[in-house]
């Protein structure tokens, strides 16, 4: 547990009428710093917010953006929703998989890139769209997949 987490927890507990609400924001903040949420981190969060560990683990397990395993420095979410699929999202995904040598849901062995399917990212006008560390990139035609592996323009 890092000392400043305590401060964060206190701040967030103050913000809401019920301290329980602080759970999601605190998980977000800590994940942003740690990259993912290990069982130990979840136990720490439970302590910080005075919640049962089961509650914290259960909540974390419900949401797809909370990573329960380590992820790469670059997390790519390729939208595979219907509107993106109509515009070639699957081909985009396959190109990435082939290039990176991993399947969706996995992380490259060097820890550089994680590749995930996303359900509709609410950016269907940019189809096929992806997010890199939650920043939108689109449209990304399948053949332009490498744009997702480059630093932001």
Nearer to other proteins, 34 or 57 (CB): 57
CB of 122 to other proteins, least distance (A): 4
Closest alpha carbon to 97 in 82, 119, 120, 80 = 80
Question: Rounded CA gap, 102 and 25, in Å?
Answer: 31
Report the candidate in 54, 66, 63 with the shortest Cα–Cα distance to residue 29.
66
The nearer residue to other proteins, 134 or 144, going by C-beta atoms, is 134
The CB-of-138 to other proteins minimum distance in angstroms stands at: 11
Q: Which residue ranges make up the site for other proteins (CB under 8 A)?
A: 15-18, 20-25, 27-28, 39, 42-43, 52-55, 57-59, 61-66, 77, 80-83, 85-87, 89-91, 93-94, 103-105, 117-125, 127, 131, 134-136
Shorter beta-carbon distance to other proteins: residue 72 or 81: 81
The residues that bridge with 132 in the sheet, in sequence order, are: 76, 135
Q: Are 59 and 24 in contact (CB under 8 A)?
A: yes
């Amino acid at each position: 547990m890092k000392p400043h987490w305590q401060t964060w927890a206190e701040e967030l507990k103050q913000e809401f009428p019920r301290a329980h609400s602080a759970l999601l924001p605190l998980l977000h903040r800590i994940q942003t710093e740690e990259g993912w949420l290990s069982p130990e981190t979840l136990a720490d969060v439970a302590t910080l917010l005075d919640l049962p560990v089961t509650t914290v683990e259960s909540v974390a397990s419900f949401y797809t953006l909370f990573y329960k395993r380590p992820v790469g420095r670059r997390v790519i979410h390729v939208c595979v929703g219907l509107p993106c699929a109509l515009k070639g999202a699957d081909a985009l995904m396959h190109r990435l998989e082939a290039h990176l040598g991993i399947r969706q849901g996995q992380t490259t062995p060097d820890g550089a890139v994680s590749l995930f399917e996303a359900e509709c990212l609410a950016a269907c006008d940019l189809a096929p769209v992806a997010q890199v560390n939650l920043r939108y990139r689109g449209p990304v035609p399948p053949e332009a997949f490498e744009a997702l592996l480059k630093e932001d323009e």
